Chains A and B, each alone.
Chain A
Amino acid sequence: MKRLVPYLILGLLAVGCFSLATVLQARAYGWSRRAQADNILKVLLGDGRRLFANHFFIQADVSFHSGYYPSIFDQARAAQGSRHLTAEEGDPAHEEHEKSMDFLGPPRDWIERFGRHFMVTDHTHLHGDNESEILPWLKISAELDPQKVETYTVAAYWLRKLNKAPEAEEFLREGLRNNPNSHEILFELGRLSAEYHHDPARARKMWELGLRKWADQEAAGQKPDLFHLDQLAVHLARLEEKEGNLVRAIELLQLAIKATPHPEALQRQIEELEQRRAAHAPGASPPAR
């Protein structure tokens, strides 16, 4: 019997531990925010992970340029922001980006001249299937900082281009869950509805909601980006024009004029729509043949 006593004590302690664990586990879950973290990165890095998120977003940009990217020492002369990541050829943002990425300049000495044989010195962008190479970095960046909205919009843009609309929608919905007030994500979701699902009603809902969110942010003094107001208003105006709601389309274009850097083109479109509305108005005389 004496021999058994230590084993019995051990067994008793083990049972005690097990019983306590079943009681405490449920309570311990609520003790700290860290315990509620739903992925390993949150548990390991806590809020510090947001610091790394930007690094991975930049890594996506580096990958997009096949390694040709300004260092912190070149950045005064190089591109800032991420709009070039989604700019089409011919866009002003694209042209501006092309100019600003000529950051290397002529070599200052023989060491720099020789060193350029061992580094990427051509400004190129990914094309074809290679464009998907930036996606892992964007996904990691979103995991690290779910509040970084541009990660979702840039990834969705490329996923759309790569004919991966369902993945783009899923990723944008994840972004919207993390950023319910983001008009940028709502705009991208609207584009998916309009261009992929061909569902103008849903696209309208998204863009109208996006406009409201933009207005709420402006009212709260957050100075939201005018570029996105322009995008939302113009896309919604096109949709309303297609649906025959010319009055609403004109209103939206007038809203876009306040935000666009090129108001002349929009003004011409408004005038065209005004003419069409006048022609369709009840009592208007039929056009002369």
Chain B
Amino acid sequence: MNTIFALANVVIKELYRRKDFYVLFVLTAVLTLLLGSVSFFQDIKVVRYVKEIALLLIWISALVIAIATTARQLPAEREHRTIFPLLAKPVTRGQVILGKFVGCWLACGLALVVFYLFFGVVSGSREHSWPVLNWLQAFWLQWSMLGIVVALVLLGSIVFTAPSSNATICFILVLGILLLGRHLNQVALQQPEPLRSVVYGLYFFIPHLEWYDVRDLIIYDHQLIGWGDCALASLYAGIYAALLLFGAWLLFRRKPLHL
């Protein structure tokens, strides 16, 4: 376990040494504050558009951080040949995979904490209400979703050779699931057989990342989600992440490491 956390620690340090997070955070903050300062029809009570834009930017930034950080982990270790001394420690390949996953996931969590603190301050100061539990649920669900994304990108970094191609493919996959995942069953029902069964099968197979996007519930001040549902969604994310990590380990186990 110590080995895994030591590896994770390196990834977290990398997050705050690199400029990705700072650039994305400053961009999110500047855009949100700029839009928040605009007065529409002299109405200062209007706040939901600011929440909408802030949460959209947080989602985009979190995805960029998760995918970009994870996609370069294993290729960078191979390119700089630091993977060899690492494996000679001795550290098993499974520990490398787990360490990288934990590191990337925790790094995403740290970034999300900062983003949500900013969101909370902006939203609370304009709306004069502090639904902290709703924000916590949104944070936790988004972080759980990022766990699946990080695991998917780690698997991709073993399948694809270049980090750029891996990041691009993972972006398309994740965005595709977020936008279409909820409706794939409707699409399937409109298809003739055997395409219907194939699309419906795909609908059950893909991780339903769209569940974790509860921005509308936050923006429009809806009730809390049931804690049982949150727990089930977390379990679902955990199982998917484990499945993808296991796949990554299976592939990484026998993969030649020389370039």
Interface residues of A (CB under 8 A from B): 59, 63, 66-67, 71, 73-74, 108-109, 111-112, 114-115, 117-120, 129, 132-133, 135-137, 139, 159, 162, 164, 167, 171
Contact = CB atoms under 8 A, between A and B. Distances in A.
B43 interface: yes
B41 A67 contact: no
Nearest to B47: A133
A129 B220 contact: no
8 contacts: A59-B52, A63-B48, A66-B220, A112-B182, A118-B213, A118-B217, A119-B182, A167-B41
Contacts of A129: 45
Contacts of A133: 46-49
B41 A114 contact: no
A119 B46 CA distance: 23
Contacts of B177: none
A114 B48 CA distance: 27
Given A111-B185, A114-B211, A118-B229, A135 B220 contact: no
A111 B203 contact: yes
Given A66-B220, A73-B183, A133-B48, A118 B214 contact: yes
Contacts of A119: 182, 214, 216-217
B220 A114 contact: no
A111 B46 contact: no
A221 to B, nearest CB: 37
9 closest residue pairs by CB, A with B: A67-B216, A66-B220, A73-B183, A136-B49, A117-B229, A136-B40, A167-B41, A67-B220, A133-B48
Contacts of B47: 133
B145 to A, nearest CB: 11
Nearest to B49: A136
A70 B229 CA distance: 23
A139 B40 contact: yes
A71 B179 CA distance: 10
Contact of A137 (B49, B204, B221): B49
A67 B225 contact: no
A171 to B, nearest CB: 7
Nearest to A124: B220
A132 B208 contact: no
B46 A136 contact: yes
Contacts of B226: 117
B189 A108 contact: yes
B31 interface: no
A115 B225 CA distance: 11
A227 B141 CA distance: 47
A39 to B, nearest CB: 13
Given A67-B217, A132-B45, A133-B49, A118 B40 contact: no
Given A67-B222, A73-B186, A120-B222, 4 more contacts: A108-B189, A118-B233, A162-B43, A164-B43
Contacts of B186: 73-74, 108
A203 to B, nearest CB: 23
B42 interface: yes
B45 A114 contact: no
Contact of A135 (B43, B182, B213, B229): B43
Contact of B208 (A66, A73, A115, A171): A115
Contacts of A114: 211, 229, 232-233
A129 B48 CA distance: 12
B212 interface: yes
B14 interface: no
Contacts of B49: 63, 133, 136-137
A169 to B, nearest CB: 11
